[in-house]
Structure 1
Amino acid sequence: MDKSTANNQHSVPGPIGVFDSGYGGLTILNQIRELLPQYDYIYLGDNARAPYGTRSFDIVYRFTLEAVRYLFDQGCHLVILACNTASAKALRTIQQNDLPLIDPDRRVLGVIRPTVEKVGEISRNGNIGIVGTPGTIRSGSYELEIAKLHPTFHTYTQACPMWVPLVENREASSPGADYFVKQEVDRLMAKEPAIDTIILG
């Protein structure tokens, strides 16, 4: 392949890659496709190693980088981490350390910052609840972004270890799931009854 052909192939927009540790990111993919139907997409769900929420930073980073490299190999120039845990534990390291070495023209984006930007438009009193995997909650990523973008807001968190297994086992619509969701939301609201916006992290 000559240099001009290689450069031309690199400039042709490839599919957009969407990565999650399981099925949950399909909801994000569906919304992106509605907004941007003109693009092709590749979805990668790492069901074999889910859930990510209880794994260490190093493991989540390694698994996420493997997924990003795979999607780049499939021709994606943009990869969206639809996984909150991957966004919290791996995104910054991949953006700062790995992308400059792999290909500085490619992009990896997460879901945390866009969510936090939107919260500023929604909340009326600045009391924000955050529910998520234990890993996402331990990372403090949402609190850090909220503090940067909305310094007067107050955040309250609740880890929800049962939620991902319910989704991955296709039990999210079962009566049993309602019990676990209500239990964790009640615990969150007990910390601050004035919470008016909850982030599903």
Structure 2
Amino acid sequence: MSQHPIGIFDSGYGGLTVLREIVKTLPDHDFLYLGDNARTPYGTRSYETIYAYTLQAVKYLFDQGCELVILACNTASAKALRTIQQRDLPQIAPHKRVLGVIRPTAEVIASYTHTGHIGVLGTTGTVKSESYLIEIKKQAPTLNVHQQACPMWVPLIENGEQDHNGADYFVKKYLDELFSQSQDIDTLLLACTHYPLMLKKMREYLPETVTILNQGDIVAPSLADYLQRHPEIAEKCSQNGKLRFVTTDSPENFDRQAATFFGQSIKSNFVDI
């Protein structure tokens, strides 16, 4: 493994949907993916716990030679990123960088809506943090943002039920609750990296005119642009086209689930962070 991969962190499997798109965009780069499966889910945990877990993950990736770490987890991006950037990085690694998935999304989402009304579907933690409301308001002050927590979607997806009849109730329930806030919503943001796997089922309950945004499609070109604008970081990231996957829980379970999220079979190793 190259000594300077780009680190990709998620609380479990969902970040693999982001990594999949990043690899398509930057196929020559090296990546190290860390899934904290032993402590997932993050979405219902306290700020203090999410921050502590995320910082441990970032430190591990730094120790593995990562000069740049992407928090491919909305909950970690919402609750831990700012503190790590402002308080921890200057102390532990002032020349390294940690980025999230919320700001790149907030910067471009206004360009997708015609009505000025967007819906944000996320975990309970992401929705309660109001991070998307805050960041989108900075970028597009006139945009109307409607949020909806979908706490049952991650368990359904991780149990392989996303395309089965059992998922229908909770897909319809959360979409109905979102659109009860406004019938003018024409753009939906999947603000959890698990949710692209629910896309097929969502489409059964949505008009074709509603645009659904997958964060991987936004984050990947944003990362490429970041590296172009920051050559001092880009030159430190090795380019041998290598991928490595590690998990804090069973590699066998991770590999079995990861194939669904990443789109191809992988081989991971256990790590204790």
TM-score by length of 1: 0.91
Secondary structure, counterpart of 1:152 in structure 2: coil
Which is worse superposed, 12-21 or 43-52?
12-21
Secondary structure, counterpart of 1:17 in structure 2: strand
Residue of structure 2 in register with 1:19 after alignment? 9
Residue of structure 2 in register with 1:9 after alignment? none
Secondary structure, counterpart of 1:131 in structure 2: strand
Whole-angstrom CA distance in 1 between matches of 2:33 and 2:76 = 15
Q: Tell me, yes or no, if structure 1 residue 34 matches structure 2 residue 24.
A: yes
Q: Note the 1:30-69 alignment, pairs <5 A.
A: 30-69=20-59
Whole-angstrom CA distance in 2 between matches of 1:67 and 1:174 = 34
Secondary structure, counterpart of 2:9 in structure 1: strand
Residue of structure 2 in register with 1:172 after alignment? 162
| The one of 123, 137, 141 aligned to 1:133 | 123
Alignment coverage as a number of residue pairs: 190
Query: CA offset at residue 13 of structure 1?
Result: 7.5
The one-letter amino acid paired with 1:177 is A
Whole-angstrom CA distance in 2 between matches of 1:47 and 1:178 = 26
| The one of 143, 150, 162 aligned to 1:153 | 143
Whole-angstrom CA distance in 2 between matches of 1:99 and 1:143 = 25
Whole-angstrom CA distance in 2 between matches of 1:40 and 1:61 = 26
| The one of 179, 184, 188 aligned to 1:194 | 184
Query: Is the contact between residue 88 and residue 139 of structure 1 (CA under 8 Å) also seen in structure 2?
Result: yes
The one-letter amino acid paired with 1:131 is L
What 5-or-longer segments of structure 1 have no aligned partner?
1-11
Query: Is the contact between residue 78 and residue 107 of structure 1 (CA under 8 Å) also seen in structure 2?
Result: yes
Secondary structure, counterpart of 1:49 in structure 2: coil
What 5-or-longer segments of structure 2 have no aligned partner?
192-273
Secondary structure, counterpart of 1:50 in structure 2: coil
CA RMSD across the alignment: 1.3
Query: CA offset at residue 118 of structure 1?
Result: 2.0
Query: Any idea what the Cα deviations from partners look like across 1:54-80, whole Å, max 9, x if unmatched?
Result: 000000000000010111111111110
Whole-angstrom CA distance in 2 between matches of 1:173 and 1:25 = 20
TM superposition outliers: structure 1 runs of 4+ over 6 Å:
none
Which is worse superposed, 152-161 or 85-94?
152-161
TM-score by length of 2: 0.67
Question: Of Structure 1 and Structure 2, which has the larger fraction of its residues in helix?
Answer: 1
